[in-house]
């Protein structure tokens, strides 16, 4: 019982620390620096503490402190409760969804069975969908409660876009579910031990469609019509300042991590290295004793998982800095006329092949 407690607390702390402590601040810096490198610039590099500029990493610290000391503004006529609650509503689902994503397999440590997922839910995927659908309210309420027309339009756009892409996303994932026959993310992970059983080989079309839908659900660059600067000032967070505004952003950044986690788990073999099964890994580390071997294997698996996640974060950032924004009707057309039929075709073909 105590061991279970310690295990789950350690896992929660790890994921929470990884998300809030590492990814949320560092992604702000990464986005800045990556865009700079991609555009042949140098990027933020002048903030220094005692003469040290850790290639501009202190700029995100400066941003954080500045944002904390910025005036917190609530416009007149705004609904204060919802105006304050909206950033939290959009931030919390982004953190919570990570608790069903496995970041490692199953190991036996000192006679104790360790499963590297915070909550091994039977309906893991549906849980993610449920909470990502709750994230809509953050945008909608933020837009409505600001008492501002730009915000309202942004909120309406956000809700319409997120609703329609949720439908499409649900359909794109069904192909994967048919292949692996489970909603449990750990089971899906275990089944991808064989390199040629990875989701990307089973469902290449599903992968492309899912990534598109996920980016659209996250409201990032090619699909950032809810916050289009050229049309509606800053969309649903026009009236937000200081910390609340940054909370929307943090939610966005954490959702990038979550999307990368899901894509890694469903399509890129979760925590497995290609061509190396768990058994091989364990036997490879046999020199360290049985406990040491499983600890080493665990570390290798966690590292593999997070390297894959970081790769997909990088990929999403590249997409964000490469593609221009869609028009609103194009976003809707892409969803209902392209992705939805294609995902239905994908389901049909998968059914033909696998359920003969």
Partner 1 sequence: MNKMTDIDQKKCHPMVGVPIEKLRPKQVRKNLELTLWESLYIFEIIRGMYITTRHFVLNMIGFVFKPKGQKRRIFTVYYPEEKVTIPAAYRGRPVLVTWKNGKEKCVACGLCEKICPANAIMIVAEERDGSDRYPSAYTLDMSRCVYCGYCEEVCPKEAIVMSAEYQGLAERDRSKMIYSKEQLLRSEESVKDRIEYIRRIYSKCSY
Partner 2 sequence: MQLLIFYILAFGAVISALLMVTSKKPVSSAMSLIATMVFLAGLYVLLDAHLIAALQLIVYAGAIMVLFLFVIMLLNVDEKEGRMAGNTILLQFGAILAIGLVFIMMVSLVKSGGTLLVFGEGADQFGTTKAVGKLLFTEYLLPFEIASVLLLAAIVGAVILAKRRIDDPDQKERIIPGHKG
Partner 3 sequence: MGVEIQRAGVSPDSLKNLTDSEDSGHLLEGSVILTKLESIVNWSRKYSFFLYPFVTACCGMEFMSVAGPKYDLDRFGAALPRFSPRQADLLMVVGTISHKQAPILVKVYNQMTEPKWVFAFGVCAVSGGFYDNYATVQGIDTLIPVDVYVPGCPPRPEMVIDGLLKLQEKVAKEKWSDWPKGASPVSKC
Instruction: Point out which residues bind partner 3 (CB under 8 A).
Output: 32, 36, 39-47, 58-59, 61-76, 229, 233-234, 237-242, 245
Q: Does 163 bind partner 2 (CB under 8 A)?
A: yes
**Can you tell me which of 18, 74, 92, 134 binds partner 2, judged by CB under 8 A?**
134
Residues in the chain: 356
Query: Cα–Cα distance between 168 and 160 in angstroms, integer?
Result: 13
Q: Is 122 in the site for partner 2 (CB under 8 A)?
A: yes
Residue 49 pairs in a beta bridge with 52
Q: Which is nearer to partner 3, 45 or 133 (CB)?
A: 45
Cα–Cα distance measured from residue 234 to residue 226, given in angstroms and rounded to the nearest whole number = 8
What whole-number distance in Å separates Cα of residue 356 and Cα of residue 347? 13
Residue from 318, 325, 310, 141 nearest 216 by CA: 325
Q: Is 329 in the site for partner 1 (CB under 8 A)?
A: no
Contact 45, 56 (CB under 8 A): yes
Contacting residue, 321, 332, 336, 344, with partner 1 by CB under 8 A: 321
34 binds, among partner 2, partner 3, partner 1, none (CB under 5 to 8 A by kind): partner 1
- Which C-beta is closer to partner 2: that of 107 or that of 131? 131
Q: Which of residues 20-49 bind partner 1 (CB under 8 A)?
A: 34, 37-42
Q: Using CB under 8 A, which of 183, 208, 282, 302 touches partner 1?
A: 208
**Per-residue tokens: 55:** 């290639």
Question: Is 136 a binder of partner 2 (CB under 8 A)?
Answer: yes
Are the beta carbons of 90 and 251 closer than 8 angstroms?
A: yes
Residue with tokens 């995927």, as numbered in its chain = 125
243 in contact with partner 2 (CB under 8 A)? no
Q: Is 319 in the site for partner 1 (CB under 8 A)?
A: yes
Q: Of these partners, partner 3, partner 2, partner 1, none, which one is at the site of residue 322 (CB under 5 to 8 Å by kind)?
A: partner 1
Whichever of 212 and 238 has its CB closer to partner 3, that residue is: 238
Q: Which does 237 bind (CB under 5 to 8 A by kind): partner 1, partner 2, partner 3, none?
A: partner 3
Question: Packing angle between helix 340-354 and helix 149-180, nearest 10 degrees?
Answer: 10
Max distance between CA atoms of the chain, in angstroms, equals 69
What are the distances in angstroms from CA 321 to CA 34, 126, 233, 236, 284? 9, 31, 20, 22, 41
Q: Which residues bind partner 1 (CB under 8 A)?
A: 34, 37-42, 208, 318-319, 321-323
């Amino acid at each position: 019982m105590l061991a279970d407690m310690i295990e789950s607390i350690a896992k929660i702390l790890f994921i929470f620390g990884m998300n809030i402590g590492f990814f949320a601040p560092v992604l702000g810096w990464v986005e800045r620096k990556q865009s700079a490198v991609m555009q042949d610039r140098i990027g933020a590099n002048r903030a220094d503490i005692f003469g040290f500029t850790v290639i501009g990493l202190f700029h995100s610290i400066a941003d954080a402190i500045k944002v904390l000391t910025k005036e917190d503004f609530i416009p007149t006529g705004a609904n204060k409760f919802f105006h304050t609650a909206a950033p939290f509503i959009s931030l919390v689902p982004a953190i919570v969804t990570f608790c069903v994503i496995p970041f490692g397999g199953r190991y036996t440590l000192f006679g104790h069975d360790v499963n590297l997922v915070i909550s091994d839910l039977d309906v893991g995927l549906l849980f993610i969908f449920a909470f990502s659908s709750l994230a809509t309210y953050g945008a909608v309420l933020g837009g409505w409660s600001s008492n501002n027309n730009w915000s309202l339009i942004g909120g309406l756009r956000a809700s319409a876009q997120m609703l329609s892409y949720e439908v499409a996303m649900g359909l794109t994932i069904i192909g994967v579910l048919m292949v692996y026959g489970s909603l449990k993310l750990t089971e899906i992970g275990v089944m991808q031990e064989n390199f040629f059983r990875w989701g990307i080989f089973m469902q290449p079309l599903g992968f492309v469609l899912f990534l598109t839908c996920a980016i659209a659900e996250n409201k990032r660059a090619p699909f950032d019509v809810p916050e289009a600067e050229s049309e509606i000032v800053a969309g649903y967070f026009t009236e937000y300042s200081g910390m609340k505004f940054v909370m929307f952003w943090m939610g966005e950044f954490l959702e990038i991590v979550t999307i990368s986690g899901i894509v890694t788990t469903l399509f890129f073999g979760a925590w497995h290295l290609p061509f190396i099964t768990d058994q091989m890994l364990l036997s490879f580390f046999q020199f360290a004793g049985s406990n040491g071997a499983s600890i080493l294997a665990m570390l290798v698996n966690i590292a593999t998982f997070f390297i894959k996640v970081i790769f997909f974060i990088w990929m999403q950032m590249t997409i964000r800095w490469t593609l221009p924004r869609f028009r609103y009707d194009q976003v809707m057309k892409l969803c209902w006329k392209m992705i939805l039929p294609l995902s239905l075709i994908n389901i049909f073909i998968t059914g033909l092949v696998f359920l003969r």
